[in-house]
């Protein structure tokens, strides 16, 4: 029973944090395009250009930039390891006050509840 409950909770989290926001964005954009179409065709073109830029072009560009940065970082870590230079933990793990607070609460967390 606990396995089924856990699976259902995982599905709920997936739905709430992945599918629902995508559907909200899609329907909101579609409704706005209909409203813009009633006002002016130019508004529709501007909105479509903005949606295309934010939803397609920027993710492609940032993915390419991050991929290259990640490749360079892994190469630097590899070179350091080959030379026997240890990589500091702060280079691989965020060390902010917020992260430390979250990590301190971790032992007290059960099923996502504190």
Residue 58 bridge partners (DSSP): none
- What pTM was estimated for this model as a whole? 0.53
pLDDT greater than 70 at residue 77: yes
Closest CA to 87 of 96, 75, 105: 75
Instruction: State the alpha helices, DSSP H only, in 40-96.
Output: 41-52, 58-82, 89-92
- Report which of 30, 32, 29 is spatially closest to residue 40, judged by C-alpha positions: 32
Residues 41-54 have pLDDT tens digits of 999 999 999 999 99
**Six-digit token string for 12:** 């709920």
Lookup result for tokens 């396995």: 3
pLDDT digits (tens, 9 = 90+) for 24-40: 999 999 999 999 999 99
């Amino acid at each position: 029973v606990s396995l089924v409950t856990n699976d259902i909770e995982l599905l709920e989290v997936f739905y709430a944090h992945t599918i629902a926001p995508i559907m909200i964005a899609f329907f909101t954009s579609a409704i706005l395009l209909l409203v813009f179409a009633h006002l002016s065709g130019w508004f529709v073109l501007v909105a479509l250009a903005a949606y295309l830029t934010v939803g397609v072009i920027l993710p492609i560009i940032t993915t390419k930039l991050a991929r290259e940065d990640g490749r360079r970082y892994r190469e630097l870590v590899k070179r350091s390891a080959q030379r026997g230079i240890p990589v500091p933990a702060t280079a691989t793990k965020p060390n902010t006050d917020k992260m430390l607070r979250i990590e301190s609460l971790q032992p007290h967390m059960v099923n996502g509840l504190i």
